[in-house]
Amino acid sequence: MNEFVSYHSSENYAIIGINNGKANAISHEVIDGINLGLNEAEKNNLVVILTGISGIFSAGFDLKVMTKSLESAKELVTKGSRLSLRMLSFPMPIIVACNGHAIAKGAFLLLSADYRIGVEGDFKIGLNEVQIGMTMHHAGIAIAKARLSEVYMNRSVINAEIYNPKDAISSGFLDVIVPESELIATAVQTAKMFAKLNPIAHAATKLRVRKHHLENLKNAIELDLNEEISINH
């Protein structure tokens, strides 16, 4: 797709891989690459597997962009929110094969997928925005509300609690964890199972189940566009 995002397809699934440095940061180029991969998968009715690099799915937005200016940060955050909106309403199933750490936007991508497979180990998963001085944006709150129980929503969004992979299942960021050596094989096996779903019924049911949350997220993105992003150092 581009130098930061790879795309490989098989008979009934496509693997979109993020590879952007040590933090596997979510930049404009990464979002563009993911969107190109989603275009291709949608065109060919393929289940999507989104994955990162060994030890890290993503540590969040590209800090170089986020610290450049408030306008620059807002532009990237908005683009990330729109990617989540697209993922949550995507007609084919989306699986995240989470290779390890998933922080901030990395964790929001987990909350934007249909099924999340993590790996065992000493990894950190969660939303650290408040911890690093960012007032949580409206879209982030909307995504978290859609996928986390109220107890964990408060703990994760307001208190910036970070979880290990096992606790990330309880909190709602992951569905299962496997040894790292089995991650992609498990994701492929799951994708083949999801490929047996009726695609029209899956797409229509997803939209029906998430209708209220998708409307809230669209409204939240508009609210964020009309407000200054708040980053306190």
Pairing state between β 13-18 and 47-51: parallel
Q: What three-state secondary structure class fits 14?
A: strand
DSSP character at residue 196? T
Mind listing the pLDDT tens digit for each residue in 209-230? 999 999 999 999 999 999 888 7
pTM to 2 decimal places: 0.95
Pick from 168, 148, 166: nearest CA to 158: 148
Residues 129 and 10: their CA atoms lie apart, in Å, by: 37
Pick from 20, 85, 97, 95: nearest CA to 59: 20
List of the chain residues with pLDDT < 50: none
In the prediction, which pLDDT does 1 show?
Answer: 66
Q: What's the maximum distance between 2 C-alpha atoms anywhere in the chain?
A: 49
Query: And the tokens for 67?
Result: 């610290």
Query: And the tokens for 129?
Result: 């925005």
